[in-house]
């Protein structure tokens, strides 16, 4: 969705557009997936509340 820049009408499309605009800036960006087991602190914070 981000690479193709195509919208599917979902509620997340606004967020995807914002991400695309940030990526287009003159920054060095690397997006990397981390499994929750490898990032227990962030996983714990995400599950609070």
Residue 9 has pLDDT above 70, yes or no: no
Helix (H, G, I), strand (E, B) or coil at 35: coil
- pTM value > 0.85: no
The count of other CB atoms within 10 Å of the CB of residue 13 is 13
Contact (CB, 8 A) for 21 and 13: no
User: Mean pLDDT across the stretch 23-29?
Assistant: 86
Alpha helices in 1-49, H assignment, sequence order: 13-24, 40-46
Q: How far apart are the first and last CA of the chain?
A: 30
User: Mean pLDDT across the stretch 1-20?
Assistant: 72
Residue 3 has pLDDT above 70, yes or no: no
Give the pLDDT score at 35: 86
């Amino acid at each position: 969705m981000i690479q193709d820049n195509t919208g599917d009408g979902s509620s997340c499309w606004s967020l995807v557009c914002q991400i695309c605009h940030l990526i287009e800036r003159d920054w060095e960006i690397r997006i990397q997936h981390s499994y929750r087991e490898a990032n227990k602190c962030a996983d714990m914070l995400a599950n609070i509340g």
